[in-house]
Amino acid sequence: MNTRTPIQPSTFPAVLSVSFSSATGSRFIAGLSDGLQCFRTDNCLTTYHPSLPQEGGYAIAEALDDRYIALVGGGRALATNPSVVAFWDAKLGVEASSLDLREPVLAVRAGSRWMIAVLRERCVMFEYQVLEPRGLPTPPPQTGDDDVDGEEILRGPNKPTALYPTATNPFALAALKGELLALPAVTVGQVQIIPLHGGSKRVLRAHNSSLRQLALSHDGALLATASEQGTLIRVFSTKTTDQLFDFRRGVDKAVVLSLAFSPGNRWLASTSDKGTLHIFDLRPPDPATLAAEQSLRAREKQAQHKKSQSYAGHRLSGGENTSSLSGGRSSPASITPSAAQTGTAYQGSVQEYYGLRPVPSSASPPTTGPGISAMAAFKSSSWAPKVFKDVRSVASAPFHMGDDPPYWQGGGGHSWTTGPSGKKRRVRNPITPLPAEPTGRPPKGVMCVKVREGDAGHGGDDDGAVVYVIGGGSDARWEMFELLPAEGGGWGLVCRGFRQYLTRQFVD
């Protein structure tokens, strides 16, 4: 007989959704299977845990700031219909507005002026309006010329203004920063950039396959995208739609969970289901290094397409086989491997002699200048694989993916039913999906990048960055990473600590 008390009861809440406040990122909001809870980003302390009118789970919780929160029901026990977006006023403790979109809402993006409701094949934009306070006590009449306190004005996104069609968007991809909106276009692999203040829409081709993740920088100048392959991360200019960077995350296929820019657009962070956090440097390369690499490529290209006399003399010099020249050319039989084994000059091969195979760079006259390594020369060569030429992250570190079982939302994997013949049979229960994750996997690797305070006491992107990684599910965890300058050059990524933010944060 098992008399031990479980450490975590079966009624322990699970985190269905995680997001950072869109205004400053100073808060993160967890939509729970039994309500809502808000935390500080920098220390993971609870700031708001209300008792909502409807009991149940919220699979979407998006905060504009410390006051307004957009909620959509979800999970095994829904608090509200998944097609209804409730706009909650945390200061007054009331539901400011409620919108029924007549189909399941997959995500919500909140801005200072607009709110975007992401549906499966389109997005609806709403504009904020000043609302009449319903069910609130009538304020006393104002005397004098004092204005009404702006904080007491009830606002809500009650005015639909636009509808944007997209390709099938099961992962609810959308980014809203200031006056700019980025959405998947109707064509697979393309992104549409929409200026909300007015102007023409721009469309760029980001990938050949379907999009899996996208993010805008804080000022809206940069756009980062990742495809369903998850091997490459590309950065574009939202003004010119030019591709600025092409980063290699890895070689194996992976699901990119989140992308985030630093406030000064120096760093780009990414997380994937491989459990690794990568940091990419968006600073332009050093002009001297870039000029040396371009010069090296030009010389190698010239040596590849032009078979000069200097190469023939270099290839055949220093060996005894030069005596077999007939009419200025050596016979193929005179090119033997023994010459290379004895330490003589490179003698080449029959395929290289007749131009059937390109000559290796080590056989041509030295073209690398001082300070260029052999690996750099190989990477810049025209016949090197592309995977060696791609720019990789400057630092990486593992983050916690958790050990959530398939039925982390509760319930068993199987149940018994009675068939038509009257016999009982066991059937497999489906995994409860989430709005932006049809497979029902818990949210993991959601990020926010902040400025790090340097040794001089001031903060900036040149001093590094602080990355906060939040995970949901039954094993919800907050982690803090710090990007620091490494000794001897380069950067290092250090994990400063973690917290399981749904458990007790302090001892009694």
What are the pLDDT digits (tens) for 338-376? 444 444 445 555 555 555 566 565 554 444 445 555 655
Quick one: pLDDT at residue 484? Answer: 94
What are the pLDDT digits (tens) for 183-238? 999 999 999 999 998 888 999 999 999 999 999 999 999 999 999 999 999 999 99
In whole angstroms, give the CA distance from residue 472 to residue 27. Answer: 15
Same domain, 232 and 293: no
Q: Which residue has the higher pLDDT, 149 or 176?
A: 176
Quick one: pLDDT at residue 58? Answer: 95
98 near 85, Cβ under 8 Å? yes
419 near 425, Cβ under 8 Å? yes
Confidence of residue 288 (pLDDT cuts 50, 70, 90): low
Residue 289's H or E segment, with its range, is helix 287-305
In whole angstroms, give the CA distance from residue 396 to residue 274. Answer: 12
Q: What is the domain extent for residue 359?
A: 287-316+340-389
SS3 content of the chain, % helix, strand, coil (to 5): 10, 40, 50
Percentage of residues of the chain with pLDDT beyond 70: 71
Confidence of residue 12 (pLDDT cuts 50, 70, 90): confident
| 453 within a domain of the structure (yes/no) | yes
Confidence of residue 391 (pLDDT cuts 50, 70, 90): confident
| 158 within a domain of the structure (yes/no) | yes
Is the confidence at residue 180, as pLDDT, over 50? yes
Q: Which residue has the higher pLDDT, 486 or 390?
A: 486
Quick one: pLDDT at residue 363? Answer: 54
**Last residue in a domain, options 361, 389, 417:** 389
Is the confidence at residue 311, as pLDDT, over 50? no
Same domain, 216 and 356: no
SS3 27: strand
Q: What are phi and psi of 324, to 5 degrees?
A: -95, 10
Same domain, 309 and 281: no
Is the pTM higher than 0.75?
yes
Is the confidence at residue 456, as pLDDT, over 80? no
Same domain, 300 and 365: yes
| 45 within a domain of the structure (yes/no) | yes
Same domain, 345 and 377: yes
Same domain, 455 and 486: yes
Query: Average pLDDT for residues 41-62, to the nearest whole number?
Result: 92
Is the confidence at residue 49, as pLDDT, over 60? yes
Same domain, 27 and 172: yes
Quick one: pLDDT at residue 488? Answer: 82
Same domain, 491 and 365: no
Quick one: pLDDT at residue 83? Answer: 95
Contacts of 442 by beta carbon, 8 Å cutoff, 6+ apart: 14, 15, 16, 402, 404, 408, 434, 471, 472, 473, 474
Same domain, 354 and 477: no
Query: Average pLDDT for residues 54-82, to the nearest whole number?
Result: 92
- Note the maximum CA span of the chain: 111
| 28 within a domain of the structure (yes/no) | yes
Confidence of residue 137 (pLDDT cuts 50, 70, 90): very low
Quick one: pLDDT at residue 62? Answer: 95
Nearest-Å Rg of the Cα atoms of the chain is: 30
Nearest to 300 by CA among 362, 373, 389, 370: 362
| 377 within a domain of the structure (yes/no) | yes
Confidence of residue 65 (pLDDT cuts 50, 70, 90): confident
**Last residue in a domain, options 389, 419, 452:** 389
Confidence of residue 143 (pLDDT cuts 50, 70, 90): very low
How many domains is the chain built from?
2
Q: Which residue has the higher pLDDT, 344 or 429?
A: 429
Is the confidence at residue 1, as pLDDT, over 70? no
Mind spelling out the 3-state secondary structure of 464-492?
A: CEEEEEEECECCCEEEEEEEEECCCCCEE
In whole angstroms, give the CA distance from residue 167 to residue 441. Answer: 22
Average pLDDT score, the chain: 81
Quick one: pLDDT at residue 388? Answer: 55
In whole angstroms, give the CA distance from residue 282 to residue 244. Answer: 9
Q: Between β-strands 232-237 and 491-499, what pairing exists: parallel, antiparallel or unpaired?
A: unpaired
Same domain, 277 and 295: no
What are the pLDDT digits (tens) for 146-156? 444 445 677 88
Q: Which residue has the higher pLDDT, 411 or 72?
A: 72
Quick one: pLDDT at residue 92? Answer: 87
| 508 within a domain of the structure (yes/no) | no
Quick one: pLDDT at residue 249? Answer: 93
508 near 49, Cβ under 8 Å? no
Contacts of 128 by beta carbon, 8 Å cutoff, 6+ apart: 113, 114, 115, 155, 156, 157, 158, 159
Same domain, 293 and 277: no
Is the confidence at residue 327, as pLDDT, over 70? no
| 322 within a domain of the structure (yes/no) | no
CATH number at residue 68: 2.130.10.10
155 near 129, Cβ under 8 Å? yes
For 124-138, 295-309, 350-364, 385-399, which range has the lowest pLDDT when averaged over its residues? 350-364
Residue 71's H or E segment, with its range, is strand 68-73
In whole angstroms, give the CA distance from residue 339 to residue 334. Answer: 10
Quick one: pLDDT at residue 458? Answer: 66
In whole angstroms, give the CA distance from residue 376 to residue 143. Answer: 75
| 256 within a domain of the structure (yes/no) | yes
Same domain, 379 and 465: no
Is the confidence at residue 284, as pLDDT, over 60? yes
